[in-house]
Amino acid sequence: MQLTGNTIFITGGGSRIGRELARRFNDLGSADRSRAQNGPAAISTFSQQVVKQHPELNVLINNAGIMRYEDLSKARDLHDAEAQITTNLLGPIRLTNALINHLTTRANPVVVNVSSGLAFVPRSDAGTYGASKAAIHSYTLSLREQLKGQVKLIEITPPAA
């Protein structure tokens, strides 16, 4: 991935990994940070606006994620589990889908998916989170194969905490 001259869309760019990526890319002269709602219609509409405002967009970094601790040993409200799957898995799938046709027309296009070491070494108290990140790993491998020669796919896997 070239480090300068990009127009980059980073989800979750307001905190932690995303904020640091945005800061570093901005220091290199290429970054754009925006926020979007995570629903199919909202992502589609938002993506169209981003492309209209930034037609040079060539890098998508799917970084947004949430982790909730959970007790899997008994029945529970699945709100937190559903939120993790929606944010950590469906969010990147939906956003990549909404932007892929545009990205394939750009020079040096890249999609970066942020996974986690917990995808490979799960914590028992964060099972849904680990499962969502394992799914992103698998999705990234599939995208890499299907987009070979068109879009570079990178997976960032921060270590398990």
Tell whether 118 is covered by a domain. Answer: no
Tell whether 92 is covered by a domain. Answer: yes
CATH of the domain at 85: 3.40.50.720
The structure's pTM equals 0.88
Provide the residue-wise pLDDT of the chain in tens; the chain has 161 residues: 777 788 899 988 677 777 777 777 777 766 554 455 556 788 989 999 999 999 999 999 999 999 999 999 999 999 999 999 999 999 999 999 999 999 999 999 999 999 999 999 999 999 999 999 999 999 999 999 999 999 999 999 998 75
Q: Residue 30's domain spans which residues? A: 9-69+76-113+127-156
**CA distances from residue 5 to 15, 32, 46, 153 in whole angstroms, order as listed:** 23, 12, 23, 18
State the total domains in the chain. 1
Looking at the annotation, which residues are catalytic?
129
Tell whether 25 is covered by a domain. Answer: yes
**CA distances from residue 35 to 42, 63, 65 in whole angstroms, order as listed:** 11, 12, 13
